[in-house]
């Protein structure tokens, strides 16, 4: 599941960055969301996989604090980017004639920057307090299942929900991989040509 999450999100980033048709605001936000999902899952899953292999659940205090910091940072960033994407869709649907005037590249960069800064400021303080407070009445098994759901399953599904089902992304991926498939035989054909 971790590999599917990373590869799916990397495909989106690669498709958006390589295809000039996708250099729009919506895909700018989607590629940022994909980057955040990779970072979000990478804060906890590798350590969890090591724990499963070694059957050792120990973590240092500094490792725990740094893992919590980045986990809360990227979780908050994910939420803020989804909010920015919702605002982008709202403007596109409700005021389409003024969309390009309202959603300037400067505003979009500012919205992404504010999203990055807000996950640090809000979620770090409040999340740390909640996380370090006394554990509730839930069992450790149910907490573990819930943790896997929001740290692994949701980021794994985000690429398919937000973009891999999108016609433009599919076309960009076909062009990306189609160009690679066409270049291979074409180059081989040139090498076999007797006039060369």
The tens digit of pLDDT for each residue in 26-47 reads 888 888 888 998 998 899 888 8
Total tally of structural domains belonging to the chain: 1
Q: Report if residue 32 sits inside a domain.
A: yes
> Is pLDDT above 50 for 166?
yes
Q: Report if residue 112 sits inside a domain.
A: yes
Q: Report if residue 121 sits inside a domain.
A: yes
Enter the pTM of the model: 0.68
Q: Report if residue 138 sits inside a domain.
A: no
**Given pLDDT bands bounded at 50, 70 and 90, which one contains residue 15?**
confident
- Condensed to tens digits (0 to 9), the pLDDT of residues 108-144 reads 888 888 877 766 555 455 555 555 554 554 556 655 6
Tell me what pLDDT residue 186 has.
44
Cα separation, 159 vs 157, in Å, equals 6
Concatenate the DSSP letters of all residues of the chain into one string. Answer: -HHHHHHHHHHHHHHHHH-GGG-SHHHHHHHHHHHHHHHHHHTTHHHHHHHHHHT-----HHHHHHHHHHHHHHHHHHHHHHHHHHHHHHHHHH-GGGHHHHS-HHHHHHHHHHHHHHHHHHHHHHHHHHHHSPP-S--HHHHHHHHHIIIIIHHHHHHIIIIITSHHHHHHHHHHHHHHHHHHHHHHHHHH-TT-
Question: At 42, which CATH number?
Answer: 1.20.1070.10
Q: Which domain holds residue 75?
A: 2-133+149-192
Tell me which of 88 and 187 has the higher pLDDT. 88
Q: Report if residue 156 sits inside a domain.
A: yes
Cα separation, 130 vs 135, in Å, equals 9
Q: Report if residue 72 sits inside a domain.
A: yes
Q: Report if residue 56 sits inside a domain.
A: yes
Range with top average pLDDT, 63-77, 143-157, 173-187: 63-77
Mean pLDDT to the nearest integer, 12-25 = 86
**Given pLDDT bands bounded at 50, 70 and 90, which one contains residue 83?**
confident
Tell me which of 84 and 119 has the higher pLDDT. 84
Q: Report if residue 142 sits inside a domain.
A: no
Burial pattern 112-122, b for ≥16 Cβ within 10 A else e, equals: beebbebbeee
Tell me which of 15 and 186 has the higher pLDDT. 15
Site of tokens 């980045």 = 70
- Condensed to tens digits (0 to 9), the pLDDT of residues 59-73 reads 888 888 888 888 888
Mean pLDDT to the nearest integer, 167-182 = 73
């Amino acid at each position: 599941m971790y590999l599917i999450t990373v590869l799916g999100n990397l495909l989106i980033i690669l498709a958006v960055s390589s295809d000039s048709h996708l250099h729009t605001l919506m895909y700018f936000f989607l590629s940022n969301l994909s980057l955040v999902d990779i970072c979000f899952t990478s804060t906890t899953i590798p350590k969890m996989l090591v724990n499963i292999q070694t059957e050792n659940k120990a973590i240092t205090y500094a490792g725990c604090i740094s893992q919590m910091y980045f986990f809360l940072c990227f979780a908050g960033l994910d939420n803020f980017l989804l909010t920015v994407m919702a605002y982008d869709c709202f403007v596109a649907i409700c005021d389409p004639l003024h969309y390009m005037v309202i959603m300037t590249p400067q505003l979009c960069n500012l919205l992404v920057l504010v999203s990055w800064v807000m996950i640090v400021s809000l979620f770090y303080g409040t999340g740390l307090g909640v996380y370090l407070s006394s554990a509730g009445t839930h069992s450790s098994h149910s907490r573990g299942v819930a943790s896997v759901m929001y740290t692994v399953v949701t980021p794994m599904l985000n690429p398919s929900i937000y973009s891999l089902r999108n016609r433009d992304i599919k076309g960009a991926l076909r062009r990306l991989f189609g160009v690679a498939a066409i270049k291979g035989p074409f180059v081989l054909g040139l090498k076999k040509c007797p006039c060369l």
